[in-house]
């Protein structure tokens, strides 16, 4: 048994440097990307060869998040189509009261109404000036998307959404998200300047890298 453990340990020692060199080589390739960004991982997480996964950390009481969701991101989705997959994550960061709407969003996601709740929360807060950090405000938002307000309030009273919010907060911390909105690309590149121009520079560069990698593999 001891010899088997020793062999396993030695194998790990051999594999770690190989993985490390591979990750370093990949980072070297992506260092040439234009735009303002930072690496938060040494390699992609859950990336696909034909598209970029954009993870957006949003706070439903944050006006900049509202602008990103309604003005910055939709033109990118139209421009890139299937080459860009956008995932939204509730991240109560900007305001001490942000946790309640984030929990409501998590509950709506469970019921298949996450997208509708996201839009409704932002619209109610910034277009209708509704207090979406209150129970009454959230009940009105729920009603507007066809979600039973009483059901939502009962779920909130039962601490519904807390586990999901804690999970999302931990994920954001692991990506070093220290402000909202926060954008992570392919699980390893954090966007520093959230302008459309900067995002297009980075996305174009990443998609070109993926295309080149696919062409190189096809030739082999």
CATH of domain 62-219: 3.40.30.10
Residue-wise pLDDT for 149-207, tens only, equals 999 999 999 999 999 999 999 999 999 999 999 999 999 999 999 999 999 999 999 99
Residue-wise pLDDT for 4-42, tens only, equals 544 444 444 444 454 455 556 677 778 889 999 999 998
Total-model pTM: 0.86
* DSSP at 69: I
**Any bridge partners for residue 48, and if so which?**
51
Distance, CA of 67 to chain centre: 16
Taking the domains of the chain in order of start, what are their residue ranges? 62-219
Distance (Å, whole) CA 59 – CA 90:
6
């Amino acid at each position: 048994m001891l010899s088997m453990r020793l062999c396993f340990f030695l194998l790990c020692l051999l594999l770690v440097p190989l993985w490390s060199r591979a990750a370093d080589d990949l980072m070297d390739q992506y260092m040439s990307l234009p735009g303002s960004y930072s690496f938060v991982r040494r390699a992609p997480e859950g990336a696909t060869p034909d598209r970029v996964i954009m993870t957006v950390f949003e706070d439903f009481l944050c006006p900049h998040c509202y602008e990103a969701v309604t003005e910055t991101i939709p033109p990118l989705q139209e421009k890139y189509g299937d080459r860009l997959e956008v995932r939204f994550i509730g991240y109560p960061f900007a305001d001490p009261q942000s946790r309640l709407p984030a929990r409501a969003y998590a509950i709506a996601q469970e019921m298949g109404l996450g997208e509708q709740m996201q839009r409704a929360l932002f619209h109610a807060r910034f277009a209708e000036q509704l207090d979406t950090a209150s129970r009454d405000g959230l009940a009105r938002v729920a009603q507007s998307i066809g979600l039973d307000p009483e059901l939502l309030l009962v779920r909130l009273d039962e601490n519904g959404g807390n586990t999901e919010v804690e999970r999302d907060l931990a994920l954001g911390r692991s990506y070093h998200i220290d402000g909202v909105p926060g954008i992570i690309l392919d699980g390893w590149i954090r966007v520093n300047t959230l302008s459309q121009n900067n995002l297009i520079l980075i996305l174009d560069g990443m998609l070109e890298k993926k295309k080149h990698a696919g062409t190189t593999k096809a030739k082999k």
